[in-house]
Amino acid sequence: MMKHIQDTLTLHNGVDMPGLGLGVFKVEEGDTLVQAVKSAIAHGYRSIDTAAIYGNERSVGQAILEALQENELAREDLFITSKVWNADLGYESTLAAYEASLEKLGLDYLDLYLIHWPVQGKYNEAWRALETLYHEGRVKAIGVSNFQIHHLEDLISKAQIKPMVNQVEFHPRLTQKELLRYTKEQGIQLEAWSPLMQGELLDNPTLVDIAAKYGKSVAQIILRWDLQHGVITIPKSVKEQRIIENAALFDFELSTNDMAQIDGLNQDLRVGPDPDNFDF
């Protein structure tokens, strides 16, 4: 059970990954982003999740560098994730994309590198590139994002290394029960993007009632629900107060009954694209 903001879950290759991180999707390069990342690290966050397509790796890198100095931390204290975009999927192009991300971030390795979307006919070659980077010790862990069970089965059947992480849309309206069970069986860590359903769940009556009972915000209830399902979560915010609030998850525990009530909100409803039907 996670008791602290810096508690970790151990990936199947022995690497420890923080259970809570900061996501930076749709946050533009610039001072707002730099301050948000620095603020998160100052308040105890150790995991930052970005991606090539977000177009903000330079600001994330700048923030990391400044935060390390200001908080007297070592690079090893942080867990940094980025992702290879669809246009770069392929063996050589994925290797090149990794170098480009490192250069923008100003880092000499990543803790986790993910294939962003399961583009049919392309992700297996990209995975070979990730395996190469991993074998060479250039990245601590490798994984995928937005992969359904059948994508994972196909990947695993051809791979030398099983993905360590699958980052997917996961929230009380999309509980991904089958996928969660499959990834647990396979020893693949599930990670939630858009855990708050881009804010759409914050006035849900069931969640509002549960939040009142614990004296917590709806966001805190949802993020705690993630953690109690053994799912890593990376809420996005640029507001310092919200960043602090999103991390105040470790002084309470949801009852079995409340967990089941939240599970019951599932409608298999996505706010993001369908991994079986996207065209980008």
The pLDDT tens digits of the residues spanning 201-221 come to 999 999 999 999 999 999 999
Tens-digit pLDDT profile for the chain (280 aa)?
789 999 999 999 999 999 999 999 989 999 999 999 999 999 999 999 999 999 999 999 999 999 999 999 999 999 999 999 999 999 999 999 999 999 999 999 999 999 999 999 999 999 999 999 999 999 999 999 999 999 999 999 999 999 999 999 999 999 999 999 999 999 999 999 999 999 999 999 999 999 999 999 999 999 999 999 999 999 999 999 999 999 999 999 999 999 999 999 999 999 999 999 999 9
CA distance 219 to 233: 12
* Tens digits of residue pLDDT in 119-160: 999 999 999 999 999 999 999 999 999 999 999 999 999 999
Q: Which two tokens stand for residue 79?
A: 């867990």
Mean of all residue pLDDT scores within the chain: 97
CA distance 27 to 265: 29
CATH 3.40.50.11540 fits domain 8-263: no
Residue 275 C-beta-side C-alpha neighbours within 13 Å: 22
CA distance 130 to 98: 9
Q: Which residues are catalytic?
A: 54
Taking phi over 0 as left and psi of -120 to 50 as alpha, with beta for the rest, 108 belongs to alpha
CA distance 83 to 90: 14
CA distance 135 to 242: 39
pLDDT value at residue 2:
87
Contact 27, 33 (CB under 8 A): yes
